A and B are shown apart, each in its own frame.
Chain A
Amino acid sequence: MSILARHVTKRFGDYVALEDVSLEVESGSLTALLGPSGSGKSTLLRIIAGLEWPDSGEIELSGRDATALAPQKRNVGFVFQHYAAFKHMTVRENVAFGLRVHRRPRAEIRERVDELLGLVQLHGLGDRYPSQLSGGQRQRMALARALAPEPQVLLLDEPFGALDARVRAELREWLRRLHDVVHVTTVFVTHDQVEAMEISDQIAVLNYGRLEQVGAPRELYDEPATEFVMTFVGDANDFGGVLVRPHDLELLPEPAEGAVEAMIVRASILGRDTKVELHDRSGAELVALMTRDRYEELELWRGQTVWVRPRRERAFAT
C-alpha cells in the first residue's frame, strides 16, 4: 500500500513541527525518515498512523484520503521506541491483541501467533511477561504484535533507539531481511544516518520541520541537494567555502595548483581505512579518509606538512 503525504503542516503552540511536507512512499518499499531530534520526523510518522492530526494537508493511504480516519481504521502497524508492551499480558497475549479485537476465530489466532513468534525468534517465550524479556526481545515482540493483524503499512518510531549498539546492528539487519520476506510498506524513523543508509530503499531527510531531500541512499550521498544533507548524510569538510567529503580530499607531498598547505595532527587507523586529521594554516580542521594502503604508500607522519586538494567539491547557495 502506498503512502502519500500532501502539504502537511503541524504546529505545537508556537513550535512548527512540520512545514508543508509532501512525501510519497511506494508500495512495498522500505523508507527511512532521517533527521536530527526536533526535525519533525516522528511527528510525520505519527500523523501517518493517525496518532496526531495535521493542522493542514492530507494523508492518503493506497490512494484513498485517510486524513480524518481514526488510527484503528487505518490498518497500520506501529512500533514504538520504548516498545509500549502491554505489561499485564504475556508475550502471546500481546501478539494476539490485534487479532482478538478483530474477533478472529481462536484457532486462527493461535496459529498466527505461533507463526509470528517463530518469525521474530521468540518461540518458547510466549508465556513470559514483557518484564521478563530483554530490550531486543521486547522490541521483536512489539514487531510481531504490529504485524499480527496483517497491516498494509508498518511504521517504526526509532525502533532500535533504546537498544545497545550491538543488538541495534543485529536487529537492523534482521528488519531488512524481514522486510524482504513480508514485503509490507515500511517507514521507520531514525537519527542515525548509517542505519538509514544500510537498510532503506529510500531516505527522506528532514530538518526543522522541512523536507530537505528524498532519494535513494546513493543519491543523497553523491548528489546532496542542500548543505544540510551533505553534512548530515556522511561527513564533510568546509574547504574554503565549498564542501568536500573526507575521501575526496587528496594529500600531496608537494605544492600543486588548487592545493592548500596543512599539517597532519593525527592519524587513526579504522580497520581498512585511515582517518587523517589536519590543520590548515588558519588552524581550521580538515579530515581526510583514505585506504590504509594509500596511507602507507604516502609515508605520512604526524607533524608533516602536506598539500591538500579536493578531488570533488560542492558549493551550496546559502
Chain B
Amino acid sequence: MRRLGLRFVALGYLAAILVGPLAIVFWRTFEHGVAPAWDALSQPDTIHAFKLTLLITAIAVPVNTAFGIVCAIAIVRRRFPGKGLLNAFIDLPLALSPVVVGLSMFLLYGRKGWFGGWLDRHGVQFLFALPAMVVATIFVSLPFVAREVVPTLREIGDEQEQAARTLGAGGWQTFWRITLPSIRWAVIYGVILTTARCLGEYGAVAVVSGRIQGQTETATLRVEEQYEQYNLAGAYAISIVLALMAIAVLVAMTALRPKAAT
C-alpha cells in the first residue's frame, strides 16, 4: 500500500508539473488542424531562428565538451594552486541567473565596457550578433560535461593510466586509448545535458542578442516574440518543435543509460 501511495505521489507530481503543461501545448497547437502550425513553422524568420539555435548549439557543445573534459582531468588528477577555486567556479553558471550573465556581458563588451572599445576599434560586431550569443550560451551550459566526468574519473582511479604509462604509452596515447574510453558514457551524458541546455537557453541570449527578427532571434526568442504578437498558433508550434527536440535528446540519454552499467 505504502509503495503504491509513494508511486502515486511521484507520478501525480510529475503529471501536474511536467506532463500537463506539455499536453496542453500539444493540444493547443493542433486545435485547428495541422495547417496553422505548419504555416507558422514555414515562415522564413522561424526557419532562420531554428537554424540559429542549431548553429549556436553546434559551436557551444564541442567547446564545452573539450573544456569540461580538460577541467575534470585537472580537478581529479592534478594538483595545482587554485584548484579549489576552479572546482567551485565551475558551478557558477548553475547558480547565476542567465539574465545576470547577459547583463555582465553588457558591462564587459558594451561600448563603455572593458573590451567594448577595443572590439569597436577593430570593427568587431560582438553584442547583438552571433559571437555574444555563442559566448552567453557557452557560459550557461559550461558545467554539465565536467560535472558528469569528475565522479567517473574519481571512481576509475589512475591505476589504468599508470599501467598504460609503464607499457610505453605517452600522455596523449594514454588519454585517447585509456582515459577517454573509460569516461565515454559520462562524456555522452554531459554532451546530452549540454545540448538540451543550449537548445533551451533564453535569458542570457535574450539580453545580448538584441532580438532582431531574422538575424539574432533564436527559436526560444521567437516563441516569446510570436506570443507577444498574439500569434499563439506560431508560438505553440515552435514550442512543440523545441519540446520534441528536448524529448529526443532525453530519449537518447535513456536509451544509452543501461549500456553504461556494463
B169 within 8 A of A: yes
The answer for the CA separation of A148 and B166 in the assembled complex, in Å, is 12
Q: Given A84-B160, A101-B177, is A51 in contact with B166 using a C-beta cutoff of 8 Å?
A: yes
The answer for the CA separation of A31 and B62 in the assembled complex, in Å, is 50
Beta-carbon contacts under 8 Å, B152-178 to A: 159-160, 162-170, 173, 177-178
Cβ B167 vs Cβ A101 within 8 A: yes
Cβ A72 vs Cβ B162 within 8 A: no
A251 within 8 A of B: no
Which single residue of chain B is at the shortest CB-CB distance from A46? B162
Cβ B166 vs Cβ A146 within 8 A: yes
Q: Looking at A50, A101, A102, A146, which has the most chain B CB atoms within 10 Å of its CB?
A: A101
Cβ A80 vs Cβ B168 within 8 A: no
Per the CB 8 Å criterion, the residue count for chain A at the interface is 27
B182 within 8 A of A: yes
Q: What is the distance, in angstroms, from A74's C-beta to the closest C-beta of chain B?
A: 8
The answer for the CA separation of A33 and B11 in the assembled complex, in Å, is 60
Q: Given A82-B159, A84-B159, A87-B182, is A97 in contact with B177 using a C-beta cutoff of 8 Å?
A: yes
1/0 per residue, CB under 8 A from B, across A143-177: the answer is: 00110110000000000000000000000000000
Chain B interface helix/strand/loop/mixed? helix
The answer for the CA separation of A113 and B166 in the assembled complex, in Å, is 18
Q: Given A88-B182, A97-B177, A101-B173, is A80 in contact with B159 using a C-beta cutoff of 8 Å?
A: yes
A66 within 8 A of B: no
Chain A interface helix/strand/loop/mixed? loop
Q: Given A86-B178, A97-B177, A101-B177, is A80 in contact with B163 using a C-beta cutoff of 8 Å?
A: yes
B84 within 8 A of A: no
Contact pick for A72, options B159, B165, B178, CB 8 Å: B165
Cβ A78 vs Cβ B162 within 8 A: yes
Beta-carbon contacts under 8 Å, B129-173 to A: 159-160, 162-170, 173
Q: Given A80-B159, A87-B182, A88-B182, is A97 in contact with B164 using a C-beta cutoff of 8 Å?
A: yes
Q: What is the distance, in angstroms, from A88's C-beta to the closest C-beta of chain B?
A: 5
A49 within 8 A of B: yes
A78 CB contacts on chain B under 8 angstroms: 162-163, 166
The answer for the CA separation of A84 and B165 in the assembled complex, in Å, is 12
Beta-carbon contacts under 8 Å, A70-117 to B: 70-72, 74-78, 80, 82, 84-88, 97-98, 101-102
B181 within 8 A of A: yes
A72 CB contacts on chain B under 8 angstroms: 165-170
Cβ B177 vs Cβ A71 within 8 A: no
Contact pick for B168, options A49, A51, A101, A142, CB 8 Å: A101
Cβ B165 vs Cβ A98 within 8 A: no
Which single residue of chain B is at the shortest CB-CB distance from A89? B181
B159 CB contacts on chain A under 8 angstroms: 80, 82, 84
B165 CB contacts on chain A under 8 angstroms: 50-51, 70-72
Which single residue of chain A is at the shortest CB-CB distance from B162? A51
Q: What is the distance, in angstroms, from B168's C-beta to the closest C-beta of chain A?
A: 5
A71 CB contacts on chain B under 8 angstroms: 162, 165-166
Which single residue of chain A is at the shortest CB-CB distance from B169? A101
B168 CB contacts on chain A under 8 angstroms: 72, 75, 98, 101-102, 149
The answer for the CA separation of A28 and B159 in the assembled complex, in Å, is 27
Cβ A84 vs Cβ B162 within 8 A: yes
Cβ A88 vs Cβ B181 within 8 A: yes
Q: Looking at B165, B167, B173, B178, which has the most chain A CB atoms within 10 Å of its CB?
A: B167
Beta-carbon contacts under 8 Å, B166-203 to A: 166-170, 173, 177-178, 181-182
Q: What is the distance, in angstroms, from A76's C-beta to the closest C-beta of chain B?
A: 6
Q: Looking at A72, A76, A98, A145, which has the most chain B CB atoms within 10 Å of its CB?
A: A72
Q: What would 13 A/B residue contacts be, using CB atoms closer than 8 Å?
A: A50-B165, A51-B166, A71-B162, A72-B165, A72-B168, A72-B170, A74-B166, A76-B166, A84-B162, A101-B167, A101-B168, A145-B163, A145-B167
Given A74-B166, A82-B159, 11 extra CB contacts under 8 A: A49-B166, A51-B166, A71-B166, A86-B164, A87-B160, A88-B181, A97-B169, A98-B167, A101-B167, A146-B167, A148-B167
Q: Which 8 A-B pairs have the closest CB atoms?
A: A98-B167, A84-B159, A78-B166, A84-B163, A71-B165, A101-B169, A88-B181, A72-B168
